Amino acid sequence: MTAPDSPGSSHSPRSPRSRRERPAKPALTREGIVTAAVAILRAEGLRKVTMRRLAQELDTGPASLYVYVRNTDELHAAVLDELLGTVGPAPAAGDWRERLEQVLTAYTAMLMEHPGIARSALTARPSGPHYLRLIETLLELLHEGGVPRAQAAWGVDLLLQHATATAAEHAGEDSPADWQALSRALRESPAATHPRIAESAGALLSGTPEARLSWAFQTLINGIERTSVPD
């Protein structure tokens, strides 16, 4: 009598499983690809969000992904748009300037949570629903403040540029040695050769990051409100 696990048995556990018995893989979609990319970003960082790594995660070939996403840049822009969905709407209460600043601060904070995306956002061109909602929110708040349409349109670009650049600047690991060297250089600048630095050294180094970001947004908002765009 042949043993159940012998080579001659028709019921050997070593027999290959029929492909028909395997569960079918979920169909690829752009939404599914972006969701998987965001998961990789959160777990491994933006550098790992590549077509090859994504294809591995989705159990497919990289070529299959290009049907839905043209290249890595477009993928990163789609990931950015997905993360913009975590930026809440404008608060209901408060002056329009305060509410505008709060939205911009929330956008900056989101980027700071994802250093790779913060750097990528300097050149990324998102065009998804969450990005459009953010633009609409900013325009609506500027409209509420009576800012002329053209100034508001140009101003939105300026405000987002500053927020993005601020997040990207702070995306890397801070080097205490570099900061100490800069602080020392400013404080020890001789008045004979650098009189303005010497008299302003304390001010140049003062303020918390939060206070400086708020001041910058307020300055930009006030300037946008008062400065006409050229004809």
1-10, 119-128, 174-183: range with lowest mean pLDDT: 1-10
In a domain, 96, yes or no: yes
Q: Are residues 117 and 208 in the same domain?
A: yes
CATH number at residue 140: 1.10.357.10
In a domain, 6, yes or no: no
Q: Are residues 130 and 169 in the same domain?
A: yes
- Average pLDDT, integer, range 5-12: 48
Within 10 angstroms of residue 62's Cβ, the number of other Cβ atoms is 14
Q: Structural domain of residue 92, as residue ranges?
A: 84-226
Nearest 10 degrees: Cα torsion 13, 19, 24, 28: 130
- The C-alpha atoms of residue 118 and residue 86 are separated, in whole angstroms, by 15
Q: What is the pTM of this model?
A: 0.80
Q: Are residues 114 and 204 in the same domain?
A: yes
Q: Are residues 134 and 207 in the same domain?
A: yes
Q: What is the pLDDT of residues 63-118, one digit of tens each?
A: 999 999 999 889 999 999 999 999 999 999 999 999 999 999 999 999 999 888 98
Within 10 angstroms of residue 205's Cβ, the number of other Cβ atoms is 12
CATH number at residue 32: 1.10.10.60
Question: Judging by beta carbons within 10 Å of its beta carbon (0-12, 13-18, 19+), is residue 111 exposed, middle or buried?
Answer: buried
Q: Are residues 92 and 49 in the same domain?
A: no
- What's residue 23's pLDDT? 56
Q: Are residues 91 and 55 in the same domain?
A: no
Q: Are residues 124 and 215 in the same domain?
A: yes
Q: Are residues 156 and 185 in the same domain?
A: yes
Number of domains in the chain: 2
